[in-house]
A and B are shown apart, each in its own frame.
Chain A
């Protein structure tokens, strides 16, 4: 328990997590529960995106592809077979396998080239998957999508809420550990200066592919939860909108900070919910995404670190000033 007591930030995390865990038992609101579940799911997606963008410096415009693979895997397994825990596990396994293979191939093809290529190829591949989902009607039922049943454990909304919350916390801790591991340190070195990392003797390509695979698999898992929360899947999971959501969440929340991705997910989902309500008042709010687009552009130009990153920078600066002052006092 030392790590909680010694670190104020960790203590805050634990308190928030405990609060969220207890929330459904004290405050009963179905809408709130569903919204929060959605936030947890998208937080997983945004964190996986952050691993690429914030920690390794890779831009992907096809993250929806992995998300969609997860969503369709679970949908197809639950629809074709009995909705049991065993088949759920199969679906998870299938998702991990497919996303790992796809992200590996994409990484192998483009990560040795300039960063534009990865962005382009993922974007085009995601488009290909979208077409595939539309055309392969026997399996995906095309544009209309299909509903499916989920294993009993996931039927209860409160249960599902807690499972999603715990998964999000697990992914957060895993990624925290991952980015602080020696491998994660190399990834951050690549982000800062690729040539120098290479000249230090690291096989940059291998590390980048590793990051790409981990991010792809996690995005697939987010897709599984997303489809299960709706108990319905259609081609929208492969659209650019999902990628854009992940991108907005990561950028606005703060790149390279994991927590930023979670905060971003919360902000965007809450805002989406609120602005959809406002759309009844004035039609401009129906196009709520435009506000986020503008905010996003401004953030990229003026606050490239996002909310969390900018806050961190300020506290870091203050601390440095304080320590400088202390030193002066000691010297004086």
Chain B
């Protein structure tokens, strides 16, 4: 019981981190038809800049804010200078975002050195609660809470605000939105920045969760995020949160029972989805 509970908690926390990465990917894809292969790089940048600010200022909250800001700025630069010149050309887009990924992760090594950085949760999030004989690690609960908060926030933004309405309309039909006199280019940049900010937030939360951060982690998480995006359906925001939880849980349970197969199971799930329902498990357009 205890074990099951802990594995579930662990899986949910990992799932939330993957969700923060995958949500941006899927939103950007849905709206702009761009699959951003550099998204993992933004995740790693969020982690490095956030942890760096956190260790220099000593405040975790400032670190998180710094990471999100770094994500926004990088997202803006990426959209403006890297993605914009190649809108509409799929192959060039895929190629260029991978090139950016390369540059981003190498830049990390140039600025912060090639070695791993260590990170610990702040004092008030260290340790655990004990309820009966169950041990609940505080930091994991914190990650899950933040993830749910972000989910609710983005959901509110999409469903209840004017800008969300425009974004949803843009996903359905870009040309029509433009014809109605809305500057879709501005919306593109806005969504790209939000997505990058979420990825950066995921990165900085991941730091204290795993204890160490390294430049290669962007790529590792990006692969999981791609799996999530495919399972949840490309461009499907609600699908991505469900798929992220699914992948997180299956990862944590498999890692305990059959560790050799943990990545393979997720891959298999993705392959099955690709064969049976390429538009994603949770409906929506393909």
Contact = CB atoms under 8 A, between A and B. Distances in A.
B110 A287 contact: yes
A115 B94 contact: yes
Given A247-B95, A300-B86, A304-B92, A121 B274 contact: yes
Contact of B260 (A113, A123, A127, A135): A135
Given A117-B274, A125-B267, A127-B263, A290 B107 contact: yes
Contact of A120 (B82, B96, B106, B230): B230
Contact of A293 (B29, B103, B229, B230): B103
B91 A57 contact: yes
A115 B93 CA distance: 11
A300 B35 contact: no
A155 interface: no
Contact of B102 (A117, A127, A289): A289
B198 interface: no
Nearest to B89: A304
Given A290-B107, A296-B99, A110 B274 contact: yes
Contacts of B227: 124
Contacts of B220: 127
Nearest 5 Cβ contacts at the A-B interface: A293-B103, A290-B106, A293-B102, A116-B35, A297-B99
A294 B275 contact: no
A116 B96 contact: no
Nearest to B275: A109
A51 to B, nearest CB: 14
B267 A115 contact: no
7 contacts: A115-B90, A123-B226, A127-B223, A128-B263, A251-B95, A284-B110, A297-B82
Contacts of A115: 90-91, 94
Interface string B98-142: 111011001101100000000000000000000000000000000
Contacts of A304: 92
Contacts of A124: 223, 226-227, 267, 270
Interface string A281-305: 0001001011011101100110010
A92 interface: no
Interface residues of B, number: 38
Contacts of A189: none
Contact of B94 (A110, A116, A125, A301): A116
A251 B270 CA distance: 29
A59 interface: yes
The secondary structure that dominates the B interface is helix
A240 interface: yes
Contact of B35 (A120, A244, A293): A120
B103 A290 contact: yes
A85 to B, nearest CB: 35
Nearest to B268: A128
A107 to B, nearest CB: 12
Nearest to A125: B267
Interface string B260-286: 100110010011001100100000000
A113 B102 contact: no
Interface of B: 29, 35, 37, 82, 85-86, 90-92, 94-96, 98-100, 102-103, 106-107, 109-110, 219-220, 223, 226-227, 229-230, 234, 260, 263-264, 267, 270-271, 274-275, 278
A114 B256 CA distance: 35
Contacts of B271: 109, 121
B39 to A, nearest CB: 12
B106 A287 contact: yes
B102 A296 contact: yes
B103 A113 contact: no
B98 A61 contact: yes
Nearest to A290: B106
Of A110, A113, A127, most B-chain CB atoms within 10 Å: A127
B106 A289 contact: yes
A119 interface: yes
A121 B270 contact: yes
A131 interface: yes
A125 B220 CA distance: 12
Interface string A221-259: 000000000000000000010001001000100000000
B90 A116 contact: yes
A61 B107 CA distance: 21
A125 B263 CA distance: 10
A290 B86 CA distance: 21
B44 to A, nearest CB: 14
Contacts of A284: 110
Contact of B278 (A117, A125, A294, A300): A117
A222 B97 CA distance: 26
A307 to B, nearest CB: 16
Contacts of A289: 102, 106
Of B99, B270, B271, most A-chain CB atoms within 10 Å: B99
B109 A113 contact: no
B278 A301 contact: no
Given A128-B267, A296-B99, A300-B86, 14 more contacts: A59-B94, A109-B275, A113-B274, A116-B94, A120-B229, A124-B226, A287-B110, A290-B103, A290-B107, A290-B110, A292-B102, A293-B102, A301-B96, A304-B92
A123 B109 contact: no
Contacts of A59: 91, 94-95
A275 B227 CA distance: 37
A294 B229 CA distance: 28
